[in-house]
């Protein structure tokens, strides 16, 4: 992971290339291997999915929850919390992020769901739920790898988490019942658990955010910023990717049998997701550049708008419609597409920095 102390916006190409570890440089290979390993484990080890899902935090498997926490903690320990005030003061960035995350992206997923799977109401509902679950976890990894603005990412993720608790149920009601009714389309009744949403936010953002804040505050107080960022963070940083790979293996192992036994249905769900991630990310990059946000904030805007909170989407779908439902399968296919696509978009962002954001 990135270890230098300069701000992301001023990193040079040579510095970025030089700081990449073997783990970073070959990340797509490790992620593909982790996905394949998970699918094979889930397919060929009987009862593994049941064992992994036996203990939960809320509606999320405990091993997956541990992986997510390990993934999030190092990234949030890198954030300079005393610099987040400049992000809060950037109203252009905050307003644009809110509009993209809570107006444009959910509406776009609603349209894609009805375009691609109008004949499959369970998958359609699952896709809409994925669109409503704004990313609060993995986006920190993608943003960091693409040299985005860490402080901006932390602030936008926090804002998304607050809106998630407040607005998720209301938006679900709007997109599943109100809007389809206005358009003369079939409606879907759904009663989302406020508790599940709150637990997801508190566990997957609250715990690592508090741990990261305390680690930086106490570490800098004890040894200073130079030691903290020059000595401590380089040792802590790789654990974010270890946590990511561990989570991917477990996630795909948990649903490996379901995914491999229903390939055509997975493809039907995957196509709108692929379009969603690419188009929303591209829109974020174009909007950020047009607004003059600079590369680092533009990248953060694009990733926070395009990424989704798959753990929440899966938990809500399972809790509302059942573990074997089509809605749950749509939630599971989310990270199957999101992980490799957003990894590819990290490289797209770095290419765009060289071609379109150079000063």
What is the distance between the alpha carbons of residues 259 and 270, in angstroms, rounded to a whole number? 11
Distance of CA 98 to the CA centre of its chain: 16
Please count the other Cβ atoms lying within 10 Å of the Cβ belonging to residue 102: 19
Asked, for residue 2, whether it belongs to a domain, the answer is no
Beta bridge partners of 134: 308
Asked, for residue 78, whether it belongs to a domain, the answer is yes
Among candidate residues 301, 342, 332, the one with its CA nearest the CA of residue 133: 332
Residue positions counted in the chain:
359
3-class DSSP assignment, residue 118: coil
Taking 70 as the threshold, does the pLDDT of residue 270 lie above it?
yes
Number of separate domains in the chain: 1
pLDDT band (50, 70, 90) for residue 199 = confident
Taking 60 as the threshold, does the pLDDT of residue 10 lie above it?
no
Residue 354 corresponds to which tokens in the numbers above? 């060289």
What is the distance between the alpha carbons of residues 214 and 82, in angstroms, rounded to a whole number? 12
Asked, for residue 73, whether it belongs to a domain, the answer is yes
DSSP state of 56: E
**Tens digit of pLDDT for each residue in 115-155?**
999 999 999 999 999 999 888 777 888 998 899 999 999 99
Range of the domain at 140: 8-356
Among candidate residues 139, 134, 125, the one with its CA nearest the CA of residue 105: 134
Domain of 151: which CATH number? Answer: 1.20.1530.20
326-336: average pLDDT: 84
- Span between the terminal Cα atoms of the chain, in Å: 25
Taking 90 as the threshold, does the pLDDT of residue 310 lie above it?
no
Asked, for residue 296, whether it belongs to a domain, the answer is yes
Query: What is the pLDDT of the chain when averaged over all its residues?
Result: 85
**Tens digit of pLDDT for each residue in 68-124?**
888 889 988 998 988 888 888 899 999 999 999 999 999 999 999 999 999 999 999
The pLDDT assigned to 201 comes to 77
What is the distance between the alpha carbons of residues 77 and 126, in angstroms, rounded to a whole number? 33
pTM reported for the whole predicted model? 0.81
**Tens digit of pLDDT for each residue in 174-194?**
999 999 999 999 998 877 777
How far CA 296 is from CA of 12, 151, 178, 359, in Å, comes to: 13, 10, 38, 13
Asked, for residue 1, whether it belongs to a domain, the answer is no
């Amino acid at each position: 992971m990135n270890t230098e102390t300069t701000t992301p916006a001023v990193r040079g190409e040579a510095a970025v290339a030089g700081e990449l570890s073997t783990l970073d440089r070959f990340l797509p290979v490790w992620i593909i291997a982790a996905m394949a390993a998970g699918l094979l484990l889930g397919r060929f080890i009987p009862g593994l999915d049941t064992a992994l899902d036996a203990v939960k935090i809320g509606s999320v498997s405990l091993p997956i929850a541990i992986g997510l926490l390990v993934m999030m903690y190092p990234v949030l320990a890198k954030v300079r919390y005393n610099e987040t005030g400049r992000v809060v003061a950037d109203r252009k960035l905050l307003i644009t992020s809110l509009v993209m995350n809570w107006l444009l992206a959910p509406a776009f997923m609603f349209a894609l769901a009805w375009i691609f799977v109008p004949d499959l109401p369970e998958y359609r509902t699952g896709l809409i739920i994925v669109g409503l679950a704004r990313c609060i976890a993995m986006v920190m990894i993608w943003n960091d790898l693409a040299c985005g603005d860490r402080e901006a990412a932390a602030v936008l993720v926090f804002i998304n988490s607050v809106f998630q608790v407040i607005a998720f149920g209301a938006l679900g009601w709007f997109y599943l019942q109100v809007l389809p009714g206005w358009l003369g389309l079939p409606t879907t009744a759904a009663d989302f658990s406020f508790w599940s949403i709150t637990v997801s936010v508190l566990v997957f953002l609250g715990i690592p955010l508090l741990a990261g804040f305390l680690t930086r505050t106490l570490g800098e107080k004890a040894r200073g910023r130079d030691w903290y960022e020059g000595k401590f963070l380089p040792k802590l940083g790789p654990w974010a990717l270890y946590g990511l790979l561990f989570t991917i293996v477990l996630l795909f192992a948990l649903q490996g049998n379901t995914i491999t036994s229903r390939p055509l249905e997975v493809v039907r769900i995957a196509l709108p997701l692929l379009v969603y991630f690419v188009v929303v990310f591209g829109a974020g990059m174009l909007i950020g550049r047009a607004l003059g946000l600079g590369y680092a904030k533009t990248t953060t805007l694009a990733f926070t708008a395009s990424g989704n909170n798959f753990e929440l989407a899966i938990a809500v779908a399972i809790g509302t419609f059942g573990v074997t439902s089509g809605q749950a399968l749509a939630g599971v296919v989310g990270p199957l597409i999101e992980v490799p696509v957003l990894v590819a978009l990290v490289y797209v962002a770095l290419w765009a920095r060289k071609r379109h954001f150079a000063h």
